[in-house]
Structure 1
Amino acid sequence: MDNAWTEHDIPRQHGRTALVTGANTGLGFEAARMLAEHGARVVLAVRDVEKGKQAAARIARAAPGADLTVQQLDLGSLESVREASAEIRTAHPTLDLIINNAGVAYTDRQKTKDGFDLQFGVNHLGHFALTGLLLDLLLPVPGSRVVTISSYGHKIQADIHFADPQFERSYSRAASYGQSKLANLMFTYELQRRLTEQHSTTIAVAAHPGNASTELVRYLPAFARMSITVLKPLINQSAAMGALPTLRAATDPAVRGGQYYGPSRLAETRGYPKLVSSSAKSRDKAVQQRLWALSEQLTGVTFPV
C-alpha cells in the first residue's frame, strides 16, 4: 500500500556507494544506517570527524560488517567542499547516490567562511558545489541519484532574494531558511532538466521529513520551541520516520526524476512517505535558471551537464 512504505521496502543496496551529508545525527544518521543495513557502502560526510566516527560505530553495531567511511566536510567552507570532493574522488571511482541532507535552520544572523548567509550557504550553496564537483562520478552509473532535502519551510516567507541573497540589508530567520529550502527544490528541478536534456539515467529527486525529532530545532526561538513541545504528541515523529521520504526518493525503483517525497499525514507533518507537491514558486523555470547562474557565480563550480 502506497501510504505504508517502510524501511523494509528498501531494495538490496549491495554494490552501491552512497554519500550522505550530515550523517552523524538525526535524519542523515538514520538514512546512512538503513542504507548500510541493506548492504550499501556508505560515506558519512560530517563536519565533526569524531562525531562521525561515533556514528559509524553505532551503525556498525546495527549492521555488522557494514562498509563505512567517515569523510570530513564543512559545507560552510568552499575550500572544505573542494578538499572533501577531491578525497572522495580518490577513494571512490564512482558514486551511486548523493544525499544532500545536512543543514541548519532558523539560525541567528551568521556568515559562512566565504561570507555567505549561513542558511543559504550551508543548505544550498555548499550542496550545490559538492554535487557539481562529484556529479561526473554518478553519470556513468545506471540509476544513480542525487537526493536533496527540502522542507515545508520552502512555502513560508520563501523567495530567492536576488537583490540581497546574503541578507546584508536586513535579516529574517524565517526568510533566510525559506530561501535556502526553496533553493534546494529549484536546484533539484533545474538539475533534473539538465540531466534529461542529456538523456542521462542519473536522476535528481527531492524529499522533506515533515516534523521529525532532530537537532535542527535547537536554533528556533524559545516561543517556537515551546509550541513544538506542546504540539509534539500530535505532529512530531521520530528521525527514523522522518528519514523515510529521503530513503524512498533514494531507493524506490518507481521514483522518477524531478519528484518530491514527504510524509503522508496531517498536512505532511508525519506519516509514511508519498509523492507530494511543492509550491508553484518552486516550479518557476526562469527563476530556477537564474538561481543556477547565481550559484555558479558564487561557488565557482560549473556542472558537467
Structure 2
Amino acid sequence: MGVMKLAGYSIAEFSRIVFNKQNKCNSDRRLEGKVVVITGANAGIGKETAYQLALRGAKVFMSCRSIEKGEEAVSDVKLQAESADISLLRLDLASMKSVRQFAQTVAQQTHRIDILVNNAGVMACPEWKTTDGFEMQFGTNHLGHFLLTMHLLPLLKKSPNARIITVSSSGHLMGKMNFDNINLNNGAYSPFKAYAQSKLANILFTRELAKRLGTKSNVRTYSLHPGPVYTELQRHSGLGSMGHKMAKKFFLTPEMGAQTTLYCALEDSLDKETGCYYANCHRVDNMISSATDDKSAERLWDLMDSDRRLDGQVVIITGANTGIGKVTAQELASRGAKIIIACRSVDKGQLAVDEIKGVTPEAEVSVMKLDLSSLKSVRQFASDVRERETVVDMLINNAGVMMTPEWKTEDGFEMQFGTNHLGHFLLTLHLLPLLKRSANARVITVSSSGHLVGKINFDNINLLNGVYAPTKAYAQSKLANVLFSRELARRLGGADSNVKTYCLHPGPVNTELQRHVYNAEGSTSSAGKAIMKCVGLTPEMGAQTTLYCALEPSLDTESGAYYANCRKINKMISTATDDKVAERLWEYSCVLVDLEAEYRI
C-alpha cells in the first residue's frame, strides 16, 4: 500500500512540476517583532525560508553545524535583504549536548519564540551513528528535533500565537516505526528504510505534540512535504552524475521547495489547525494509516520523552561501570543528577567516570566500592552513603550476574540469588531512610524476562545437592527481583508513598552480563556470542526502559509494576503476581540477611 501510494504521489508530483502547477504561498503577512528559529538554515529550503521570513520583518535565528557555512548563508541573505535581522548559532542535531547548549543560548538571547522551523535533516546516509549512539537519520531528523522542540517549548508558549513547523517528506509513506530495533542494528539497516522511518517519526511527533498541547493551545504544530527539492540533502543519495543532472533539471528549486514551509508559517487560516500534514501549500487529509496511528505516536513519544531534568537529585546506580548501567549514569548525569556509581572494582568505576565526564564535563559523578555478593560490603557502602548524603532521590538496582557456575557469595548463598536479589534487598532497605527524605523517590530494579521460567525454591533456596543449574538459578533471582519490587511497593503504601518502586526487563542486551553464558549448559562460546551479536540490543537501547522508569512523569502515580520496552506490562505470569509468595520471600530474605530491626518495614 505504501509503495503504490508513494508511486502514485510521485507521478502526480512530477506532473505538477513539468506542467508548472506547483502552488506558491501568497500570504502577505508581516512578521515585525516576531522571533523565528530555523534549523539547517545555511542551505537549500532552510536558507530560502530564513530569507523570506527575514524579508517580512522577523528576527531570525539561523542554526547549522558549520559556522563557516552559516556565515556564508547570512551574507547571501543580507545581500538580498540588507535590513535582515539575523543571528547565527551553532547547532548539531546529531548531538544531544549540542541541542541542549543551543537551546540554552537561545533562551539567553530572546524571551520568546514565535515560529520554530525544524528544517534540518540528513537523507540516505551510510550506516552512521550520532554522538549519542543512535542511527544517524532517526537521531538527527527526529530525536534532535524532538529534544530541541521540548527545550524551546517554554519560549514558544510565551508567544500569543506560536507555530512549530517540521519538514517531513513523502518518504514517510514507506516508513515503519521499528520500536524493537529503532536503530536498525544487526543487518536491518538500509539508507532509505532509515530515512522513511525518520520522516514518519516527524509526522507522528507533530501529531502527538498537537494532542498533548490541546486544541486551545497558543502553540500550533504542522508537518509538511516540501516536494522533490534539489539541495545538499541528496549528497548521500547515490544518484550518480547523470542522476544529479536529471534531479537538477526536474526537481524543484529551493525557492519553490520552501513554499509549503512558508505557507505553514504565514497562512492565516492555519491559526485554526494543528497537528496536520501539508504538501503543495494545502492540507493533506487522505493520510496513510501509519501516519495517523495515535497509538504509535504515543508510543514513539513515550520512547523518546526523556527531557526531565534532575538537577540537585542524588542517584545511586549499582553496576554502572559498564553496559546499560553506564549508559544510564551518562544520561542521568547529563540531566544534572549527582551520580554515585557503585561497583566492585573502583578502578573500572573510575574509567566509567572519566568516560562520562569526557562527554559531559560538568557531570557530577563519583565511584564508590560495592560488592553485592558481600553483605558486609553492602552495609559498609550504605553507611558511607549516609555519611555523604542526606537524601537519595533514585536507587537503580542494575548490577547482576547471569548463569554463573555453581559459585557461592562471601556469605555462602548461591551467587545469582545472593547478588541479584539478596544484595539489592539489603541495599535498598539500608538506603530506604534516605529515599524517604526525597519528595519523590524511585527504586528501580532491573529484572529480566527470565523470571517467566523462575520459581522460588524456599526449601532449597541455594539449589544444593545437585539441583543447581545456571538458568534455573538466574530465573529464580529474576523472579525474586519482581516479587521484591511488588512487595516493597505494598509495604510502602503503593502509589500514595513518596517512594515508588519499578521493576523492568531491559531486553536482550549484548553486555558483559553474558560473560558466563556462552559456555553454560552446553552452548559454545563462539556460537553464543555470534547469536547475541545478531539479536542483542546495544547498551544504549537496553537502557531505555530503565530511563523510562527513572524519568517518565506519568509513573509518579504508579508503584510496584513491571515494565518492558518502555511500557507497563499488565498481563503478568501468575508466579510474578503471587502476593503470598512475595510476602514469604520478603520475610525469608530478612532472615537470610539478618536484617536489623531499624530497617524493617
Structure 2 residue 543 is matched with structure 1 residue 250: no
Structure 2 residue 489 is matched with structure 1 residue 192: yes
State whether residues 135 and 304 of structure 1, in contact with CA within 8 Å, keep that contact through their aligned partners in structure 2. Answer: no
The whole-number CA distance in structure 2 between the counterparts of 1:198 and 1:249 is: 14
The whole-number CA distance in structure 2 between the counterparts of 1:208 and 1:107 is: 20
The whole-number CA distance in structure 2 between the counterparts of 1:33 and 1:6 is: 18
The answer for the alignment partner of 2:462 in structure 1 is: 166
1:188 shift after superposition? 0.2
* Letter matched to residue 164 of structure 1: N
Secondary structure of the residue aligned to 1:260 is: strand
The answer for the alignment partner of 2:562 in structure 1 is: 260
* Letter matched to residue 335 of structure 2: H
The whole-number CA distance in structure 1 between the counterparts of 2:392 and 2:456 is: 31
RMSD over aligned Cα atoms: 1.6
The whole-number CA distance in structure 2 between the counterparts of 1:51 and 1:113 is: 21
CA deviations 1:155-192 (Å, max 9, x no partner) are 12x10000000111221111100000000000000000
Call closer, same or farther: CA 1:197–1:245 in 2, change over 3 Å.
closer
State whether residues 150 and 206 of structure 1, in contact with CA within 8 Å, keep that contact through their aligned partners in structure 2. Answer: yes
Name the TM-score, length of structure 1 as normaliser. 0.92
The whole-number CA distance in structure 2 between the counterparts of 1:243 and 1:197 is: 25
Larger relative contact order (C-alpha < 8 A, sep ≥ 6)?
Answer: 1
Secondary structure of the residue aligned to 1:177 is: helix
State whether residues 102 and 123 of structure 1, in contact with CA within 8 Å, keep that contact through their aligned partners in structure 2. Answer: yes
Secondary structure of the residue aligned to 2:458 is: coil
1:230 shift after superposition? 3.2
Of the structure 1 ranges 240-249 and 180-189, higher mean CA displacement relative to structure 2 is found in 240-249
Larger radius of gyration: 2
The answer for the alignment partner of 1:279 in structure 2 is: 573
The answer for the alignment partner of 1:299 in structure 2 is: 593
* Letter matched to residue 214 of structure 1: T
* Letter matched to residue 257 of structure 1: S
Structure 2 residue 355 is matched with structure 1 residue 62: no
Secondary structure of the residue aligned to 1:3 is: helix
Structure 2 residue 391 is matched with structure 1 residue 98: no
Where do 4+ consecutive residues of structure 1 move more than 6 Å?
Answer: none
Secondary structure of the residue aligned to 1:85 is: helix
The whole-number CA distance in structure 2 between the counterparts of 1:231 and 1:93 is: 42
1:211 shift after superposition? 0.6
1:6 shift after superposition? 4.3
Counterpart mapping for 1:137-156 below 5 A: 137-156=434-453
The whole-number CA distance in structure 1 between the counterparts of 2:531 and 2:352 is: 30
The whole-number CA distance in structure 2 between the counterparts of 1:229 and 1:211 is: 13
The whole-number CA distance in structure 2 between the counterparts of 1:169 and 1:287 is: 24
Structure 2 residue 530 is matched with structure 1 residue 229: yes
State whether residues 136 and 304 of structure 1, in contact with CA within 8 Å, keep that contact through their aligned partners in structure 2. Answer: no
1:9 shift after superposition? 1.6
The whole-number CA distance in structure 2 between the counterparts of 1:89 and 1:243 is: 27
The answer for the alignment partner of 1:33 in structure 2 is: 330
State whether residues 211 and 242 of structure 1, in contact with CA within 8 Å, keep that contact through their aligned partners in structure 2. Answer: yes
Which of 175, 186, 204 in structure 1 is aligned with 2:501? 204
Q: How many residues align?
A: 294
State whether residues 94 and 138 of structure 1, in contact with CA within 8 Å, keep that contact through their aligned partners in structure 2. Answer: yes
State whether residues 10 and 248 of structure 1, in contact with CA within 8 Å, keep that contact through their aligned partners in structure 2. Answer: no
State whether residues 14 and 38 of structure 1, in contact with CA within 8 Å, keep that contact through their aligned partners in structure 2. Answer: yes
The whole-number CA distance in structure 1 between the counterparts of 2:567 and 2:494 is: 27
Call closer, same or farther: CA 1:48–1:7 in 2, change over 3 Å.
farther
Call closer, same or farther: CA 1:10–1:115 in 2, change over 3 Å.
farther
1:231 shift after superposition? 6.1
* Letter matched to residue 139 of structure 1: K
1:228 shift after superposition? 5.6
Call closer, same or farther: CA 1:39–1:110 in 2, change over 3 Å.
same
* Letter matched to residue 109 of structure 1: E
Unaligned runs of 5+ residues in structure 2 are 1-296
CA deviations 1:75-109 (Å, max 9, x no partner) are 00000001000000000110000000000000010
